[in-house]
Amino acid sequence: MKRRRTLSVALAVPVLLSLAAVAAPGAATAAPVALSGKTVEFNVLAADGATAAQAEAAVRAAGGTVVTSNSATGLLTVSAPENGFAAAVAANKAVEGAARVKSIGQAPKGEKTAKAKAKAVEQEHKAAGKKADKKADKPATAGMDPLDSQLWGLSAVRSDLARTKQAGDKRVKVGVIDTGVDGSHPDIAPNFDRALSRNFTRDIPFDENGEVVDGPCEYRGCVDPADVDNGGHGTHVAGTIAAAADGFGVSGVAPNVSLVNVRAGQDAGYFFLQPVVDAITYSGDAGLDVVNMSFYIDPWLFNCTNNAADSPEQRTEQRLTIKAVNRAMEYAHRKGVAQVTSLGNGHMDLGNPLPDASSPNYPAGNTHPRTIDNATCFSLPTEGPHAIGVSSYGPSQAKADYSNYGEHISISAPGGYFRDGFGTDWYQTNENLILSTYPRNVALTEGAIDEAGNITPDGEAAGVQKSVRPDGSVGYYQFLQGTSMASPHASGVAALIVSQYGAYKGKSVSLAPDKTRAVLEGTAAPIACPTPRTVDYTVVGRPAEFNATCEGGADFNGFYGNGSVDAWAAVTNGKKFLK
């Protein structure tokens, strides 16, 4: 059983030496190229050894305008005429390559529904190593909240026990790189760090073909505040990590740590390259201890270096993505950030990927079938450097039917499994899923509540719940499933590890991310492969391609990795794994 494939900066793939097919990065600046066509956006990546400032100068010399620049990775977003610019800028020795992103300034054609990321799976239901100046304060403990009896995931990872010893420390900061976090939710607000939170996205009302993406902008300037979530996904993730234990609603795995919104996802659920890279590097610059990443970078489910089904321009785009994300994740790791990622909902062995017919998913209507070569194709950030990959299981500890498995797995965690308990009363019940925080604005948009805040019949069928504080403030909660729900359980345990073993200095705390990972994996509760090892998911109504075979032993296998994250073991028995 191979644990994971290493994705290094160089990647050992010769084709990466020149990302742009049109010109080698080391070539002298080419003769002027005539630029023409409408204004579009490009990603431009600085060459190895070149600075972002040098790449910016190359962009201006080639006739482009810099929109966004990431100095840590050398990734730029620029605007320029669609014809001729890529060739001109790629000929400069300071540039690794350039790839078209999207058209800008397009007028809408009509209110058509955009093909955003499918929610079908999730909504299936009726600076480390330094000595501390002083010891940490006595660990704070916490109790349980009224709705926690429905959070089987909390007891599965033994957060209920762990919080009697260590419930987390406010100086430990967990970044949620997602669609946003509703900082006003009554269960999020007590732990929300508004000062550190950032939004790296711009709303995209329509794509270049006039198809609706995010829809009309809710705020002037089309940039949402850093305490807003119009998708709901990020707030659900945040609640599982660190909803406050305050006698109201639900509590998170680490109910006393701080939550930081590091938004990289569109309202529609897309995660594009520049915002993701900016979010990852910002996490390092801001001194975050843990980040949770429950997404893949659009528009490619797998970024391939040289897939025969892709055009030369598409190959350039994917090579640039691989290298830019690689740089960002290495940077965050050097800055002391433990990076927890969901393994994905593609029901596949990541060491033997299924064909991909879903890419590129943006703009709509451009997908084409591709065979995925495991050696040269990468799902990012899951298969990026230092990623702690998390698979998903249900309340019976059965691997969830949708969960990816195999290569790149580190640990497993509760993610919900609607079809768990086949043949029992559990089967296809909302209680098999993960209950967490739900933004009021999203609940209203999705028809789960009415204008007065009452739960609608559709909301009741989906298990939406409401909790009212004595002061009249209201919190809403929804059930979801997915590896996106599993990884925040692991992120919460990681935050408890930093709280328990980190070096405290003033208002900050640090623990090397490799040490956080060592404790996370070393204290995980082993789960053996099922008998028989091949699970037939057709009995619960899935196609045969969902069937999965578990390889490995009890200590490490493809379904569960090192085992299920265990908060109690992590805070009581983790010290021996710190080397």
Dist CA 45 CA 261 (whole Å): 26
Consecutive H or E run containing 162: helix 159-162
pLDDT band at 394 (very low <50, low <70, confident <90, very high): very high
Consecutive H or E run containing 478: strand 474-480
pLDDT the model gives residue 138: 66
pLDDT at residue 11 greater than cutoff 90 = no
What is 64-91 written as a DSSP string? -EEEEEETTTTEEEEEEEEETHHHHHHT
Name the token pair of 386. Answer: 């230092």
Q: Beta partners for 314?
A: none
pLDDT the model gives residue 18: 33
pLDDT at residue 308 greater than cutoff 80 = yes
pLDDT band at 119 (very low <50, low <70, confident <90, very high): low
- Cis, peptide link before residue 513, omega less than 30° from 0: no
Place of tokens 């419930």: 167
Dist CA 329 CA 333 (whole Å): 6
Q: Which residues of 107-135 are buried (b: 16+ CB within 10 A; e: fewer)?
A: eeeeeeebbbbeeebbbbbeebeeeeeee
pLDDT the model gives residue 139: 75
pLDDT at residue 142 greater than cutoff 70 = yes
pLDDT the model gives residue 207: 82
Mean pLDDT over all residues of the chain?
90
pLDDT tens column, 208-260: 778 899 999 999 999 999 999 999 999 999 999 999 999 999 999 999 999 99
Say if CB 275 and CB 75 are below 8 A apart.
no
pLDDT tens column, 474-499: 999 999 999 999 999 999 999 999 99
The pLDDT of 126-145, averaged and rounded, is 59
Consecutive H or E run containing 569: helix 567-573
300 alpha-carbon distance from chain centroid? 15
- Give phi and psi for 391, each to the nearest 5: -95, 170
pLDDT tens column, 321-362: 999 999 999 999 999 999 999 999 999 999 999 999 999 999
Longest Cα separation, the chain? 72
* Type of residue at 91: A
Torsion of Cα atoms, 136 then 487 then 563 then 372, to 10°: -140
